Structure 1
Amino acid sequence: MAGASPSRSNSTHVDGHCFHCGQLLTPAEPAFIADVEGSARSFCCGGCQALAQTLHAAGFGHLYGDTSRFSRPLDATARREAEPVWAAYDTPELRQQFVRPLGDGKAEVTLAPEGIRCAACAWLIEQRLGQLPGVELAVANVATRRVVVRWRESQQSVSALLGALADIGYMAWPFEVSRSDRQDRRERRGLLMRMAVAMLGMMQVMMYAWPIYTHEATIDPGQLQLMRWASFALTLPVVFYSASPIFAGAWRSLRQRAMGMDVPVAIGVAAGFLASAVATVRGVGEVYFDSVTMFVAFLLLARYLELRVRQASRSGAEMLARQLPATCERLTEGGTVERVPVARLGAGDRIRVKAGEIVPVDGVVLAGISELDESMLTGEARPVRRSIGDAVLAGCFNTASPLEVRVGRIGANTRLAEIVAVLDRALVEKPRLALLADRVAGWFVGALLAMAAVTGVVWAGWIDPSRALLVTVAVLVVSCPCALSLATPAALAAAGASLSRRGVLLTRSHAIETLARVTDIVLDKTGTLTEGRFAVVLTEATGRLEADACLAIAAAMEQGGEHPIARAFRDACASSSGLVQPSVDDLHNAPGQGVEAFIDGRRMRLGRRDFAAALALEAGVWVGDDAVIGASGNPHRGATEVWLGASEGLLARFCLSDVARAQTPALLDALDLLGVRTHLISGDNVEAVRWWADYFGMETAQGAVTPEGKRAYVAALQRDGAVVLAVGDGINDAPVLAQAQVSIAIGSGAPLAQAGADAVLTHGGVAEIASAIAAARRTRRVVRQNLGWAFLYNIVAIPLAATGLVTAWMAGIGMSASSLLVVANAWRLLHVPNKTLVPHPTSREER
């Protein structure tokens, strides 16, 4: 460990902050001084000192080389506020949700700490938790930012684990690993293991098969038989382990009197293996172990790709559970506050929702005035004022002031849950293209089996009974629908990988096929065509102060606010170079009205016009003449006006509105080129939607549409024969995303909307939506090419095999070559030039 022995001193501090956590040190407190890597460093406590020295000794000293520091421990005030929340996770309701009992008094929990940045953070967390009594295992994963802790319940509680992490600067909360997540991992891991065994077996068997194909006449018969027995031994695990899901699927299909694709696959694998096994035992005849292993390996690869796509979607109920808070503050009859699980609430209870928290239930405001961001439920971009007697909905974000709410409906009865129910119903009603594919496959499989049976009978009765089994197996092997089964999923997987590089993640396998047929696209406004955030679009001063000075004052007054309007002023001030914010004193918030403060000793107000003008009226100044600054009107209908006033009158008017995404004009022009009709359907007010429609040059637009109304609008288009693509970002968009034949959710929006979508755009580049449609149409062409080749191959190969002209080993090579050709053609979709698939005209950009 570098440096001299640590000491505790009352002398002048070497540095004004703790070298490890960055906490401010005061001269009145004794400091911990230590020599770290040749320099004297000061620390706030012995823990930070020991950790810094240990990290340097372990080779993590580079972490202190820049301005970043480890998270600092909670101060006393923050800890007092957090402790009731931690204690709530020890209640039976939340323990059952987050803690996994392991038996024998042991339990396991997954924690999600904030601020994990590197391996040193993970090491520190593991060391701290590992020192707690009863903790048997603590594993921190930097990639997933999760910590798995296993401990004895009699010696530790969940709240103690959370407190221990807070002591070293990491606020953490239990992370629920859902049952579906665990099941998905088991299914994915099982299929991956089966595919690995099949791939390994295929490669090993091909090592023995290749000399037989090329130099069989020159190989000693004893060595030839040994190679056959080795191939037999290597094929056993492939058939009985890797191919077991294929046999199970075929058995289920036969029990249900259906002909799925697993039936001929299972028959071909079984027949090829049994015939090869008989030939190996007898020492006479052809063996097809290479064909069997290769076929199983390719088929499992395709199924693994399909599984990964299918598991990307999640149910709406699961996303709802992750959206709402797990605990809340309940007010007792005596006026005290207790932190309880939301599941413990009942109708009539009183709860307190602080600014910055999410409302956990549907209810009515009993006390307080605030503004709620309801955009996730209604699509309205601006926060809505809520006061005594007004209804509030679960899932809304409280932006301004604390509220006391009387609980009305919780859980499955809330408005949010109703939207989820609509989502689930719409998901059930989605077109099921898989049913059509199964029907087509049934006819194909039935014809294939009939053809193989007729071939066997003809050879056994009239041509050559000794070759009947081998010819029948050749027909099954050469015509096994490997190329046919790979034609679509291989192309979809390649296209999906290509789109993912462009930020379009597919969550359902039918998305590309349906995107290629899209005729109409239904777009939401807030968060889709626009960025869903306020921006200052107009600053108009009365002349008493310069416009830039007024903007700097407004930004200073809103410096500590979390309201969207406050962020708009701060962003506007930050983007204007040279603006210096004045000092602010005695700042007060008037919910629903604005803010008041002293600016350089001068009393000012920022907010509604009457609120800002009241200062002048109190001073006896008439403000009527100041109305001329509003003569120019708003930049567009629906914009929000904010006024700055002082004792001498109104100083400035600011207009704030949503802003268009930079790529929206390119998206709409590209859709025009693709022949796709556009529809703007939004929950925002009618005037604002109409203005944006005119701005973007869209003919079809409707405003003030409810989530159910959006879904009905799409259903009406579908009844007229349209194939609809829906694009949105809020929970209110979830029903319409589910109703449409295909849907895309903006990645910055609500997780629930993404759960109901067929694809997610991970960034704000909405022009990639048009690129996805163009890519889907290209993929459709490739799929048709693959299917055409697969059918052509079967039409040519099956008669040749039935006549005996194609032997089993030829059939195996033909089947493998056909599959490789299909895969190679599909993977051409990966090599798309790194540019947008459609042009980005600029005809709309000047609007």
Structure 2
Amino acid sequence: MHSDHTGHDHHIHSDHTGHDHHIHSGHTGDEHHNHVGHEHGGGHDKHHGHSIVEFRERFWISLALTIPISYLSMMIQMLFGYEVNFPGDTFLLFLLSTIVFFYGGKPFLLGAWSEIKEKAPGMMLLISLAIVTAYVYSTLTAFFIEGSDFYFELATLIVIMLLGHWIEMKSIMGASKALEELIKLMPKEAHKLDATGNIVDVSVEDLKPGDQILVKPGEKIPLDGKIFEGHSTVDESMLTGESVPVEKTMGMEAIGGAINGEGILKINVSKTGSDTYLAQVIQLVSDAEKTKSKAQGFADTAAKWLFYVAIVAGVITLAYWWTTGDFDTALERMVTVLIIACPHALGLATPLVTSRSTSIAAKNGLLLRNRTSFESAFRINRIVFDKTGTLTEGNFGVTDIHPTEGISEEELLKLAYSVETQSEHPIAKGIVKEGKMRDLELYEVSNYQNLTGKGLVAKINGSEIAIVSPGVLRENSIPFDVETYEKLAQQGKTVIFVLKENALQGMIALADIIRESSYKVIKELNKLGIETVMMTGDNSRVANYVGEKLGMTKVIAEVLPHEKSNNVKALKEGGKKVAMVGDGVNDAPALAEADLGIAIGAGTDVAIETADVVLVNSNPVDILSTLKLSKASQIKMIQNLVWAAGYNIIAIPLAAGVLMGAGIVITPAIGAVIMSLSTIICAVNAQLLKID
């Protein structure tokens, strides 16, 4: 393990000055215009302006009309050996087919017009050319010229295209709508506490920041806020992916949409409307899905050219078969080419994966702010971690208790716990936390004094109890176990001493506790061959101890906040792809400099401009999930693009009739089935995406 530092004069704090802690300040969220639950519209239930319900209705009505069209069709009569002949049969066939053409074909005709206006010819224009050609020619043969009609092919083509788009839209919509479905389940009313503490049921829309609400057991939390009274466990699984219910108590944040457990919570509302966590997540998902990846840019260009390839192939096919055979065959081949060559699968190959991966990420507490950086995350080969609050919990915890002879470990902690309860210092909080965890009773404390830079002193049962740094012991020539103290200090721990009437009672060591999950993530990253670097403002002794314990590849210590981005830039030299994991506030410049900026420790504050990915659960293990999802997404995109491109290379010549001599003929209806299946295969493949 290598160790670097920038040469600044930092010293280990073994007195009450403790470590240098990051201060997590609040962010102002992006201002979104959609009001949660009311104005937010889905993107994926629309297709060229047509809803999934509309495609479904048009499909069933067109299918019903296609049954009599099939019965009246000359081709079906010949195939099954029956004959239909009555006055007006041709007109009836024309009438039913006209209804299917205009009613069932409307989404495609309007879509084609939009593509013409936008000068972006594509799938809808190709489908429309095919059905218009089939309809016009069939009408001419029915009333004016000799030839076979294509009414059966026209009707089945439209029915199959409607079915294909309906299935495809359902496939796309399933994942991306999941978060929006949560909004519908949000409570419409909340229990507001008035100035006298009485409960008044009001509409959630009427609540504003600063209002106080009460949440009963089993109810959904209506809005984001801070708990000011109560204790409960809260199920946030649908929002953050955290499978285990989270314990919530006074001073902690509550997320709107989470389900309250067995306790009663009183909450100060902090965010409403589009500022809430859930609304911001939905907006982020929507924004991420609109961001085009490099693969999507390639696919769009290919799809655009495919349109012209289809037109040219269709014209060549028509000309060839017309000169070598009859016009009916030539027209059928051309219509089949136009249908089968639709660039639909190619155009949707990457958006389908984008939609699915963004939704999976959000459900697992990974919020993707920069789609392009996320898609390149699998190339990362060096990850830089901030220490405090990222690899560690960011709070002091008791690690060692060493009582002197004649006093128990519990009694020593009880004395320190009783005195430190009066202090707000990070060291004091660590001792108080340990005392509460052990359920120790407090002594009655009097005459509390803060000895600036030295410690605390107070009276317990008439005796003077002092909590001091080692400097005080040296000044007063009070002997202590120097060997044990030095050993603890070498590990980067802060050591305090407890005196009773100037007699040493023992020492207590504290440290910024390393997260259990940090061990796992560093071990896994090392296995993957990804270099792990810890960058911290702490002194070399503390940094090296933590780095060695975790198994980091490299440690860079004593770095001032403004120097972090320069260090990241240096780590990118030699073509290294670098990710930076930090708290999103103090580490903002470094996150922006990195190839992939990952914000951790922000909790439900998702509006971190410099981060590419926000880890909502503040769990370093989610870094592995980010890298895995990025790689899996890339694989799915490549699979879909290869399939979509390969399908067109094979299908267009078959549709043109290159194997007609061998008896292999693709009718327009079969062409429509194949084209729809190619898109559905891409959609299903995208739905199979998951985090291993």
SS at match of 1:816: helix
Q: Is the 8 A contact 1:238 1:296 kept in 2?
A: no
Tell me if 1:597 matches 2:458.
yes
Tell me if 1:732 matches 2:600.
no
- Deviation of 1:526 (Å): 1.6
2:636 match: 782
- Deviation of 1:775 (Å): 4.5
Q: Is the 8 A contact 2:537 2:559 kept in 1?
A: yes
1:263 match: 121
1:202 match: 55
Q: 1:706 and 1:305 mapped to 2: Cα distance?
A: 47
Q: 1:563 and 1:732 mapped to 2: Cα distance?
A: 21
List per-residue Cα deviations over 1:71-94 (Å, max 9, x = no partner).
xxxxxxxxxxxxxxxxxxxxxxxx
* Cα 1:572–1:264 shift into 2, 3 Å: same
Q: 1:668 and 1:772 mapped to 2: Cα distance?
A: 14
Q: Is the 8 A contact 1:528 1:766 kept in 2?
A: yes
SS at match of 2:293: helix
Match of 2:598 among 744, 766, 772: 744
TM-score by length of 2: 0.64
SS at match of 1:711: helix
2:524 match: 670
Q: 2:420 and 2:29 mapped to 1: Cα distance?
A: 39
List per-residue Cα deviations over 1:40-93 (Å, max 9, x = no partner).
xxxxxxxxxxxxxxxxxxxxxxxxxxxxxxxxxxxxxxxxxxxxxxxxxxxxxx
- Deviation of 1:586 (Å): 3.7
Q: Is the 8 A contact 1:526 1:532 kept in 2?
A: yes
More off after superposition, 751-760 vs 181-190: 181-190
Q: Is the 8 A contact 1:550 1:651 kept in 2?
A: yes
- Deviation of 1:794 (Å): 1.0
List per-residue Cα deviations over 1:88-127 (Å, max 9, x = no partner).
xxxxxxxxxxxxxxxxxxxxxxxxxxxxxxxxxxxxxxxx
1:793 match: 647
Q: Number of residues paired by the alignment?
A: 520
Query: Counterparts of 1:79-98 in structure 2 under 5 Å?
Result: none
1:218 match: 71
Tell me if 1:289 matches 2:158.
yes
- Deviation of 1:495 (Å): 4.5
* Cα 1:799–1:699 shift into 2, 3 Å: same
Q: Is the 8 A contact 2:582 2:599 kept in 1?
A: yes
List per-residue Cα deviations over 1:375-397 (Å, max 9, x = no partner).
xxxxxxxxxxxxxxxxxxxxxxx
Tell me if 1:536 matches 2:398.
yes
- Letter of the structure 1 residue corresponding to residue 466 of structure 2: R
Q: Is the 8 A contact 2:580 2:590 kept in 1?
A: yes
Q: 2:390 and 2:349 mapped to 1: Cα distance?
A: 34
* Cα 1:502–1:456 shift into 2, 3 Å: same
* Cα 1:525–1:602 shift into 2, 3 Å: same
Q: 1:759 and 1:525 mapped to 2: Cα distance?
A: 18
Q: 2:682 and 2:524 mapped to 1: Cα distance?
A: 31
List per-residue Cα deviations over 1:387-409 (Å, max 9, x = no partner).
xxxxxxxxxxxxxxxxxxxxxxx
* Cα 1:631–1:656 shift into 2, 3 Å: closer
* Cα 1:740–1:212 shift into 2, 3 Å: farther
Match of 1:247 among 88, 96, 114: 114
* Cα 1:501–1:185 shift into 2, 3 Å: closer
Query: Counterparts of 1:10-21 in structure 2 under 5 Å?
Result: none
Q: 1:624 and 1:559 mapped to 2: Cα distance?
A: 25
2:185 match: none
- Letter of the structure 2 residue corresponding to residue 555 of structure 1: Y
Match of 1:688 among 536, 542, 547: 542
- Letter of the structure 1 residue corresponding to residue 585 of structure 2: I
Tell me if 1:180 matches 2:49.
no
2:444 match: 583
SS at match of 2:558: coil
1:661 match: 515
2:205 match: none
Could you list the runs of 5+ residues in structure 1 that have no partner in the other structure? 1-174, 255-261, 312-431, 838-847
2:240 match: none
- Letter of the structure 2 residue corresponding to residue 651 of structure 1: Q
Q: 2:28 and 2:533 mapped to 1: Cα distance?
A: 39
- Letter of the structure 2 residue corresponding to residue 191 of structure 1: G
Q: Is the 8 A contact 1:484 1:790 kept in 2?
A: yes
- Letter of the structure 2 residue corresponding to residue 829 of structure 1: L
- Deviation of 1:727 (Å): 2.2
Match of 1:191 among 29, 33, 43: 43
- Deviation of 1:554 (Å): 1.6
Q: Is the 8 A contact 1:540 1:547 kept in 2?
A: yes
Query: Counterparts of 1:106-125 in structure 2 under 5 Å?
Result: none
Q: Is the 8 A contact 1:208 1:227 kept in 2?
A: no
TM-score by length of 1: 0.53
Q: 2:362 and 2:28 mapped to 1: Cα distance?
A: 27
2:252 match: none
- Deviation of 1:571 (Å): 1.9
- Deviation of 1:814 (Å): 0.9
- Deviation of 1:817 (Å): 0.9
Q: 2:303 and 2:613 mapped to 1: Cα distance?
A: 31
Tell me if 1:459 matches 2:318.
yes
2:269 match: none
Query: Counterparts of 1:747-758 in structure 2 under 5 Å?
Result: 747-748=601-602, 751=605, 754-758=608-612
Match of 2:564 among 692, 710, 734: 710
- Letter of the structure 2 residue corresponding to residue 664 of structure 1: S
- Deviation of 1:534 (Å): 0.7
List per-residue Cα deviations over 1:409-447 (Å, max 9, x = no partner).
xxxxxxxxxxxxxxxxxxxxxxx9735642453245224
* Cα 1:217–1:793 shift into 2, 3 Å: same
- Deviation of 1:569 (Å): 0.7
Tell me if 1:487 matches 2:349.
yes
1:90 match: none
- Letter of the structure 1 residue corresponding to residue 400 of structure 2: L
- Letter of the structure 1 residue corresponding to residue 41 of structure 2: R
Match of 1:569 among 411, 425, 431: 431
* Cα 1:277–1:576 shift into 2, 3 Å: same
SS at match of 2:52: helix
Query: Counterparts of 1:395-410 in structure 2 under 5 Å?
Result: none
- Deviation of 1:568 (Å): 0.8
Tell me if 1:644 matches 2:504.
no
* Cα 1:744–1:305 shift into 2, 3 Å: farther
Q: 2:497 and 2:341 mapped to 1: Cα distance?
A: 77
Q: Is the 8 A contact 2:592 2:610 kept in 1?
A: yes
Q: 1:562 and 1:276 mapped to 2: Cα distance?
A: 81
